[in-house]
Amino acid sequence: PAPPPAPTPPPPPSPVKAAAPAPAPKKVVVREVPEELIGIMGYIMWERAGQPDGADFGAEAERELRAALETGLSASEVKHRLKTGIPLFEPGQGPPPAPAKQAPKPSQSSGGSSGGKHKMDAVNRPPVDEGLLIQHEGAISGNSHFPDWMKDRIISEEPGCTRSFMHRFNAALGMLNDGRGSDDPEGAMTLLYVWLRFCEIRQLVWNKNYNIKPREISAAQTRLTDTLCDVFKNQKQHRQLAHMCMAAVGRGAEGNAGQRIRDEILDVQRANDVMGGFMEEWHQKLHNNTTPDDVAICQAILDYLEAGLDINQYWNTLHANGIDKERLLSYDRSIHSEPNFRQDQIKGLTRDLNKYMVTLKAVHSGADLDSATKYIFGYSQDDCKGSSVSVSRIDGVATPELERALQTIIGAMEANRSSRLKSQASSVDALQLLEAVVGARQMIRPHIVGGNDFGGRLKDVVYLDLALETTGRVVVEGALGDFEKRGVAVLMKAVGLALENVCLSLWGNNELVLCWKEWQAASQHLGNNDDWALRTKAALDRIQIAVQDVVERYNNRLQPAAVALGGGLGVDHHAIDIFTEEVVRGTSAAPLSQLLRRVDPLLRQAADLGSWQVISAVNVKGFVEVVDDIATVQNDVYSRPTVIVAGRVSGEEEIPEGCVGVLTSDMPDVLAHISVRARNEGVAFCTCFDPDEMRRLQTLGGTPVTVAPAGNEVSVTAASASEVSSSSSGDDSYSDNNQVPRIQIEKRVFRGQWCVASDEFEADNVGGKSRNLQGLRGRLPENIKLPVSTALPFGVCDQVIAHPVNASVKASLDGLLPNLDVDGLDTVQQLIRSLQAPPELVEQMRSKMAAGGQPFPGNAGQERWEAAWRAITGVWASKWNQRSFISCRKAGIAHEDISMAVLCQEVVQAEYSFVIHTTHPQTGNTDEIYAEVVRGLGEVLVGNYPGRALSFVAKKSDLKNPQVTGFPSKNVGLFAPPSMIFRSDSNGEDLEGYAGAGLYDSIIMDASEERPIDYSKDLLVQDVGYQKATLAAIAYAGLVVENLLGSPQDIEGCITANGDLVIVQTRPQV
């Protein structure tokens, strides 16, 4: 939906007097510029200049730094600005002009340009086509089901597959064809992938007592990958799994490439006089049963040669590829010896083994970049014993631009490899290389998703894309330290490219693409205004949520299959336990997460957020209880003061009895239900953003601690058991004989009306929600609206149960309710939802709603009435939900005394929804209004939806200048069609000392639609003027309502597409 126009901002409460102009700052005398700052600034200048060899920017850096310090900035502030990318000078300021000087010359001491940066050609990447980048289909689902027949078949066929890869690939092809046409193709393909992955990571036997021709392996591999590519092309819903299977198998090679594995190695031996020893052992292994290990062995030999016959380098390369001496000895044709060549053999062996590597990679390494590039642009190999290879270029894909990009990338990766062999720092600009990789992937993106088969060569394009994905991952992993050293601006650029690489790698990637767009928009604000760090932090939070969702789906889909299949195949238990973890670690999402962890503290520092968010600031002492999800313990009763350390807090949970503190790494909103209850019950509630600190807290299970919040920081220190006991000695909550003090409420009874209009709302027939709205009606300014309302008053639910049409339901409830416990709640709710509507109720609703100008749902037909009745009985049934039942027990409220009215309103077509607390809930400051805003309906704000809302604070004396304290990271908005909403309105919510709000359900009679939110185009986020006017109008509405009702208020409302601001409910703030 188009963003609504901003509501008219309120007039200032009183005239604002213009401040006198500040006097011009005095120039500060700077005697010496710290060497540390000169080093940082010089590096930044060298980067800006294109990293020229041997250039010295020390003098220029010192001159600019001195000018900055003379403006009054401290050395620490200058350092902070350099690290975060904030300009040193305000607009209109700047350093004095630089003195004329000659261009820097290369350093002579290092031999001219030797040891300098690797020169990379610029890659002219195409502009991102969002339509090609977003792919809605093909994601791995979170479904954990898989077909037993496929599992049993894999286990039964595994013994025969240990003979050779040919047998395994042929078996996999048969299973793939049967699975893709089965009732559960995703489950079948999941098991197939897990099986192939176990093989790839050497958990299954590759060959055993079987002599196989390489061309037979290659042919079987080709048939399998051809079929996988057909799934990728024609069964788009399974693209991710097909992609993963292709990566686990390798490409396969047509024609004579497989046979040349046997033939070429003999030519290499003869040409270089290496007929015996190590080379003969490897030759026999290749002749008997070639495997992907041979690629690593060949690379190890080449690295040994390049390192001047250093045998340590041979073993380093093997170990890096998971091959040790024991594995070499395990082959049917075992390798006992080490390479032992002469100096005069290095040149010839290097030449010939590099050529031989082309053949090995053609068969085993489809995702190797050099090999994949050759398949796109074509290559040929001369005749060897009657076997020649000629692969044609793929017209339409093999463009000059792509060729330049790929050669640039390959050259840079080779330079990196050479540097590693020489134990030197990389000479490649990793950021430039990463941009080249992503640019190359964008060049081939139209071919990946376009549906063209390229005469059966689409597989080659897919394998090139896989090779580039892997290259991008390797580049990021190798450059994490370099990116961090170069400051937040470089880190942010790297995050954007790494995220784009992830978007290009995952199918069903809509949310990740929106994250990428938001990150790009946030990056435009870097250092330009005061809130750039807050904007970027919100974008980072959303990316983290999206990546975590991917990880959870992978875990739910893959891990159960790995456990079931691995156990039947005899796979090592540790390999099973970490299966999904290792799969994720091998994706492009893993280094992205590592980058985000490096950016996060810099953004928090720049935004002055600290390492914690304190939601409820209470000093407490208790024993630590570590849980994955607080929902799993919300029904528990702790016999001693307990501090819960929870990985997951959605915001809707109840705080367990005996809990004095909750510490979490999750991000519930400040106005979420659990946040409100924590403040009301005096429970410490804090979010920790420091992963190291969170890991420490998770090791403290059973330990007594003191939790002391202060500002944006929280101290969690050791305490003694006696201190904890002493802190709770005056609190009867932990006494075995404790009787919970009762909060008395009066059960309401039916007063003869099935439905009441808003002018009939009274304390005896409706709750605070309905009465508070009526108290505002006719008293608000024109630009603040109220919805038309009617209500089903207190006692109607009991009267419906007692009606003869529901006699059987009443009999069942009479048997359950007197001794109700938690286990019986679901049954009671089902019975309430089965109630039939008495005719008297239907007719009175019809007449009352018509009189008030509300549409009666039944006028649109029986189906619409039934939808409305389901919503009404759902609201009544929520009296017996687990959360409210436990909360009443904790507060000492007799649950049977709860009476439930139902407030009936039309759904406001909200573009934005907000919740206002007219006293700041975190600080208790009565002079400040705090509010949170989301797109669409307010359920996203108060319900179980990940991410944060936009939050802001406004001083009541200066409503026109609200201050944003957090930008939104919630990934969806809820939007409803024209409909009715039925709101719970009980007598047990707005009580002194009891936070009952949010315990009961409000239900829309039609399902709401979840829509992904694109904050890069959202006016409330991107347009500062619109943002300021809208937030000021929300704050003004809060102040007006507070003044009219005479106490701090908890207000819910929304803004419509035409800019109307509507208050939908309000209650006293507790």
Q: Write out the catalytic residue numbers.
A: 673
Going by C-alpha positions, the residue among 787, 806, 1016, 1014 that lies closest to residue 905 is 787
930/803 Cα distance (integer angstroms)? 46
Judging by DSSP bridges, how do beta strands 657-664 and 684-688 pair with one another?
parallel
Tokens 């690629």 locate to 295
- Residue pair 734/767 in contact (Cβ under 8 Å)? The answer is no
973, 934 contact by CB (below 8 A): yes
> How, if at all, do strands 1061-1068 and 784-785 pair?
parallel
d(CA 938, CA 5): 19
- CA angle, residues 790, 791, 793, in degrees to nearest 5: 150
Report whether 902 contacts 984 (CB < 8 A): yes
What is the edge-to-edge ordering of all strands in the sheet holding 637-648? 612-616, 684-688, 657-664, 637-648, 620-629, 704-710, 713-718
Place of tokens 């998703």: 449
β-sheet bridge partners, residue 387: 384
How would you write 506-550 as a 3-class SS string?
A: CCCCHHHHHHHHHHHHHHCCCCCCCCHHHHHHHHHHHHHHHHHHH
8 A C-beta contact, residue 161 and residue 183: no
Query: From CA 992, how far away is CA 1005, in angstroms rounded?
Result: 32
8 A C-beta contact, residue 87 and residue 81: yes
| Contact (Cβ atoms closer than 8 angstroms) between residue 887 and residue 999 | yes
Q: Which residues contact 888 (CB under 8 A, 6 or more apart)?
A: 894, 895, 898, 988
Nearest by Cα to 178 from 149, 201, 206? 149
Total residues found in the chain within this entry: 1070
955 phi/psi in degrees, rounded to 5: -75, 135
CB 647 within 8 A of CB 627: yes
Chain centroid to Cα 571, Å, comes to: 31
Sequence-distant (6+) residues with CB within 8 A of 883 are: 634, 652, 653, 654, 999
Cα→Cα distances 523→516, 581, 1049, Å: 10, 31, 37
In sequence order, which residues have a C-beta less than 8 Å from that of residue 335 and are 6 or more positions away? Answer: 278, 281, 282, 285, 297, 328, 329
**Position 351, amino acid:** R
> In angstroms, rounded to a whole number, what is the distance separating the alpha carbons of residues 118 and 461?
28
CA-derived radius of gyration, the chain: 34
Place of tokens 């006991």: 725
Say how many C-beta atoms besides its own lie within 10 A of residue 545's C-beta. 18
Stated as kind and residue range, the H or E segment containing 806 is none
Instruction: Tell me if residue 628 falls in helix, strand or coil.
Output: strand
Residue 468: C-alpha distances to residues 225, 409, 421, 443, 591 (Å): 18, 9, 22, 11, 15
950 bridge partner residues? 933
- The single-letter DSSP state of residue 913 is E
